[in-house]
Chain A
Amino acid sequence: ETGVTQSPTHLIKTRGQQVTLRCSSQSGHNTVSWYQQALGQGPQFIFQYYREEENGRGNFPPRFSGLQFPNYSSELNVNALELDDSALYLCASSYAGGTEAFFGQGTRLTVV
């Protein structure tokens, strides 16, 4: 077990709604990265948070946003949900400059 926990594990939302996913990082890790994994694909980098600020972003629209809190936990918010947002959302925690990145178990989002 990695110590990275995500909540909720599953949820179903309607197109157009907003969703918030949560991630608590492993003790000692100050960086959280979020990924989207569509069925049958590898994870795609959404963005990374370091010291409560966004520290790099992948090719995702602004309706994907995030937060990092002083305890290094993080949230991923998605507005105006689209059917294609249905995926497994993964967070990974790491220590800046470190060589380990540990993932949580993921949140399965289904948009109907």
Chain B
Amino acid sequence: SQELEQSPQSLIVQEGKNLTINCTSSKTLYGLYWYKQKYGEGLIFLMMLQKGGEEKSHEKITAKLDEKKQQSSLHITASQPSHAGIYLCGADPFSGNTGKLIFGQGTTLQVKP
């Protein structure tokens, strides 16, 4: 079965600094989702990548899917306290956008003012 490994597990950065979170899959990714979660709350959709080499940006957050479609990175530029939370990568293990996602264990981000 497919597994997702996120690194680092937790991250503390000073406000204004850049950071990167990685998500590595044991198998080819058919769809890779990035979500943000505040503790104990629902998941907020950030972006979804499907094609090898694809890159998407939203505000100060950029996500990339590598050419081999087995690794994705999430990069935050000039971090702010509002970026704090848990970042989760999720993958569709099947082709055809089934919506039956598997998730990594999450990366907890703290941003110090």
Interface set of A (CB-CB < 8 Å, partner B) = 2, 4, 6, 31, 33, 35, 40-45, 48, 56, 58, 88, 90, 92, 94, 96-106, 108
- Taking CB atoms and an 8 Å cut-off, the chain B residues in 77-113 that contact chain A are 88, 90, 96-106
A100 touches B48 (CB 8 A): yes
Say if the beta carbon of B12 comes within 8 Å of chain A.
Answer: no
A99-B31, A99-B48, A101-B33 known; A43 and B103 CB under 8 Å?
A: yes
Chain B residues near A43 (CB-CB < 8 A): 43, 88, 90, 101, 103
Interface residue tally for chain B (C-beta within 8 Å):
25
Which of B96, B99, B104 has a CB less than 8 Å from the CB of A101? Answer: B99
Residue among A6, A41, A45 making CB contact with B101, cutoff 8 Å = A45
The contact sample of 6 A-B pairs, CB cut-off 8 A, is: A4-B42, A33-B100, A44-B103, A48-B99, A88-B40, A103-B43
Q: Which of B42, B88, B101, B103 contacts A105 (CB 8 A)?
A: B42
Chain A CB within 8 A of B22 CB = no
Contact string against A for B residues 1-27, beta-carbon threshold 8 Å, 1 for contact and 0 otherwise: 000100000000000000000000000
CA distance A44 to B40 in the complex (A): 15
Which B residues touch A105, using CB under 8 A?
Answer: 41-42
Determine the distance from Cα of A101 to Cα of B43 in the docked complex, in whole angstroms: 10
Interface string of B27-50 (1 = CB under 8 A from A): 000010101000011111100101
Knowing that A48-B99, A48-B100, A105-B42 are A-B contacts, what are 5 other residue pairs whose CB atoms are under 8 Å apart, sorted by A's residue number? A31-B99, A43-B43, A88-B40, A102-B45, A103-B43
